[in-house]
Amino acid sequence: MKLTRAVAGPALVLEGIRIPDPEEGGRREIDMVIATGKEILFVEQKHWSGSFTITSEGRFFQQRKNGGTLMHKDIVAWTARKGDILCNLHQNRTGKSAPPSRTVLVFSNKNLEWEPLPAEVPAEAYDELGFIDMVERMEKSPPSDELRQTLMGFGTWDTIHLNGGKTVHGDILAYPFPKVDCVMKNTGFIGIITGPKTYLSTGQVVADQIGPLISVVGEDGSRTIPFAHISKIEFSNPRMEWG
């Protein structure tokens, strides 16, 4: 959903925000939040393949292309619950209600066969292009200052953009410089003659294979990614006391 920000205009778009769960403990991640002056969208992205049906209990039964099956939880109720937690945290912090919310599912794999959600399911569902089109057409205005502050106070993942377009999300555990968003420029073929170097937009020059140590979402342990493999780093929002 890389194009979302490009079409969101003055709306606030945040990805991978992590909110505390006061009932069950721990933290819950919301894939994307889009906040405007009139509404707030809670978006869950699934990159499933194959096909799925919805059981009478609301669970999603996936049939994979390889013949395997998976029974997922009720992702509509789960996403809506995370949205309710966020709205309650906002009201507790400010004394003001969040704007009306919408639960949105995005099925981003072109290899997934699926039908529109039944009318009784309290959510909207789109493929990736349909979602971008919906965001482009929705009425967009900036969220209130109070809601913006609430949302910006939740932690997100650190994001490392690799050369070639892939992204890595996780917690950067060690970084040799001040944690400021930056863009990298590598010497490329010239480095064969002069020695490889990476120039950071924050002013540093790296001439070896050092890089950030990151605990990657979905991986065990942690690993170092050399600066030479990176095009950009975006650090998490600093977490406030309510986050």
70 found inside a domain: yes
* Minimum mean pLDDT range among 49-53, 82-86, 176-180, 217-221: 217-221
173 found inside a domain: yes
Query: Given 152, 185, 203, which residue is the final one in a domain?
Result: 152
Query: Given 99, 125, 152, which residue is the final one in a domain?
Result: 152
Residues 55 and 139 in one domain: yes
Residue 17: pLDDT band with limits 50, 70, 90:
very high
220 found inside a domain: yes
**DSSP conformation class of 202:** T
Q: What residues make up the domain containing 75? A: 4-152
CA 188/CA 196 separation, integer angstroms? 7
Residues 56 and 130 in one domain: yes
Q: How many domains are contained in the chain?
A: 2
Cα distances (Å, whole numbers) of residue 177 to 183, 201, 205, 214, 218: 13, 12, 11, 14, 26
Q: What is the mean pLDDT of the chain?
A: 93
Residues 147 and 162 in one domain: no
Amino acid in the structure at residue 52: F
- The percent of residues above 70 in pLDDT, for the chain, comes to 96
pLDDT digits (tens, 9 = 90+) for 32-49: 999 999 999 999 999 999
**Distance, first Cα to last Cα, the chain:** 24
Please check the confidence at residue 192 and state whether its pLDDT lies above 70. no
Residues 169 and 112 in one domain: no
Residues 102 and 211 in one domain: no
Token code pair at residue 47: 């990159």
Residues in the chain: 243
Residues 146 and 43 in one domain: yes
Query: Given 152, 184, 212, which residue is the final one in a domain?
Result: 152
Please check the confidence at residue 190 and state whether its pLDDT lies above 60. no
Q: List, in sequence order, every beta strand (DSSP E) within 2-94.
A: 12-20, 27-35, 40-46, 50-54, 60-63, 69-72
Residue 209: pLDDT band with limits 50, 70, 90:
confident
Please check the confidence at residue 3 and state whether its pLDDT lies above 80. no
Please check the confidence at residue 227 and state whether its pLDDT lies above 90. yes
State the pLDDT at residue 88. 97
